[in-house]
Amino acid sequence: MAAVEAGPEPDRATRVRRLFDAIARRYDRINDLQSAGLHRLWKRRVVKLAGVGPGDRVLDVCCGTGDVAMRLARAGAEVTAVDFSEAMLAVARQRARRWRGVAGRVRFLQADAMRLPFADDAFDAVTIAYGLRNLADWRAGLRELIRVTRPGGRVVILDFGKPGCGWWRRLYFGYLRWIVPLWGSWVAGDRSAYAYILESLEAYPAQPGVARALHELGCEPVEVINLLGGAMSLHRGIKRR
């Protein structure tokens, strides 16, 4: 759930990698704190929406420490999980050795979400949790996710949302502005990285914009699920046949 500083794409990519390399071993702890553990429930929803089973080929993009990837593997899928932070991947590989039912079903690779090293139509489902909003060009990244999904396959996205209710939106944005940076300073030692979450969300189209882009880029139908009154959101698009 961490975020990054804004900037031109090459500089941004360097800062993203440095940030996640620095907080990799504390990443799960701060996610538990700032979401009161709810992020784990939301990631289970990602797996359910992906609708995978034995023999399915699944790609988890911006996999972080492997939460979603390992849940997909436990469901029986053959999972490829990518992230461009090698430190995050090291934590994911270490955690995978402790998870029952995932041995031999998940492989972790270093790769750029904007330039996925896979053929068109390669996967039955593609997931991304808390990664799309932080890409240098979220729409171009979404196009990549859809490109590698087979026709009829599922694209599932979990990310921060924008509540439609005015008072809840103000309260939620206040939490992101004042409380989340304190968690970042206390646990990760990096207040500014977590302070950026609100700024990145303000520039992100969230529920309506991502749903519209899924339609425009070749998905039908598209489903949007609001979590915590829209504070978080799930999208699922089915790639047109």
pLDDT digits (tens, 9 = 90+) for 94-138: 999 998 889 899 999 999 999 999 999 999 999 999 999 988 899
Does 47 map to a domain? yes
Q: How far apart are alpha carbons 139 and 64 in whole angstroms? A: 20
Does 4 map to a domain? no
Residue closest to 207 by CA, chosen among 174, 231, 228: 231
Query: What DSSP state is assigned to residue 166?
Result: H
Does 51 map to a domain? yes
Q: Which pLDDT score is estimated for 4?
A: 37
Range of the domain at 212: 9-239
pLDDT digits (tens, 9 = 90+) for 164-196: 999 999 999 999 998 888 866 776 566 665 667
Is the pTM here over 0.95, yes or no?
A: no
Q: Which residues contact 196 (CB under 8 A, 6 or more apart)?
A: 3, 4, 5, 6
Q: Which pLDDT score is estimated for 12?
A: 55
Q: Which pLDDT score is estimated for 194?
A: 66
62 touches 129 (CB < 8 A)? yes
Does 13 map to a domain? yes
Q: Which pLDDT score is estimated for 184?
A: 67
Q: Is the pLDDT of residue 8 over 60?
A: no
pLDDT digits (tens, 9 = 90+) for 80-91: 999 998 989 999
Q: Which pLDDT score is estimated for 15?
A: 60
Q: Which pLDDT score is estimated for 190?
A: 60
Does 3 map to a domain? no
Q: What is 76-116 written as a DSSP string?
A: T-EEEEEES-HHHHHHHHHHHTTSTT-TTTEEEEE--TTS-
Does 26 map to a domain? yes
User: What confidence category does residue 93 fall into, taking pLDDT thresholds of 50, 70 and 90?
Assistant: very high
Does 1 map to a domain? no
The total number of structural domains that make up the chain = 1
Q: At 65, is the secondary structure helix, strand, or coil?
A: coil
| CATH at 202 | 3.40.50.150
Does 107 map to a domain? yes
Q: Which pLDDT score is estimated for 17?
A: 61
Task: Taking residues 7-32, report their average pLDDT.
Answer: 63
Ranges 85-94, 138-147, 174-183, 202-211: which has the least confidence: 174-183
